[in-house]
Amino acid sequence: MSNNLKQPTMCCCLLPRPGIMLFTLLYSAYAFSGMFFMTLGYILTQKIAPHQAEDQDDNSVGLSDLIFTCGHMANVICGFIYFYAFILAYKRKWESFEHALRALMAIALFGVYESYDAFKFIFQTNSQLNGPKPDGMNDDDYAELQKSYPYTSVAFGLIVYVIPWIIQLYLIKQTRSYIKYVLYKKGAKNM
């Protein structure tokens, strides 16, 4: 009878507790960074260009209108879940961390939607690129831009959205195997 929970080699368990803590803390900071920079940008705009704030009418967008959107609130909730996972890893509560790991997998599934939405925007932008030629551009440069822009934008989307998502899935998988290994060792020690 083989035991699936035992790690075959040490190479399968490359993510010890400090790595898990770093992983969850970095993703927590990443989730909160968008909200931080949006708030900072709004405050700096009000301080640097107050005349623009005076020119706005009653229908203008305020800070709460920018922050309290579905996408931003989802990122804040994800940040809190990652921070909770960081606290659980710090306190070595691996049984509770298994439940947080399910939430991290749900966040990874939400990342699929974010990637889809970003690529949809990229392809819509590519389809709208076939507009009039800018005044300062000659025909050869414009043709080169028309030819290279779709490939560049798809490569940018892969680097910014897909590769971090794959890394996130890999780290969640390694974290899961580490937790199973620790719980197996704990169970073998208690027997």
Angstrom distance (rounded) from CA 73 to CA 70: 5
Cα(first)–Cα(last) distance of the chain, in Å? Answer: 18
Give 126's Cβ-side CA count (13 Å radius): 15
What are the domain boundaries of the chain? Answer: 10-190
- In this prediction, residues 109-122 reach a mean pLDDT of 85
Structure-token pair, residue 49: 């260009």
Q: Are the beta carbons of 113 and 101 closer than 8 angstroms?
A: no
Give residue-wise pLDDT tens across range 123-178: 887 666 666 677 777 778 777 777 777 788 888 888 888 888 898 898 888 888 88
In whole angstroms, what is the distance from residue 14 CA to residue 91 CA? 20
pLDDT tens profile 52-108 = 555 555 555 666 666 666 767 888 888 899 999 999 989 989 888 888 999 999 988
Q: Which two structure tokens, joined as six digits, stand for 77?
A: 């909730």
Residue 117: the pLDDT is 86
pLDDT one-digit tens code per residue, 11-57: 444 558 888 888 888 888 888 887 777 777 777 777 776 655 555 55
Confidence category of residue 6, pLDDT binned at 50, 70, 90: very low
pLDDT for 12 equals 42
SS3 2: coil
CB 172 within 8 A of CB 101: yes
Note the pTM of the prediction, 2 decimals: 0.67
Evaluate whether 123 touches 142 at the Cβ level (below 8 Å): no
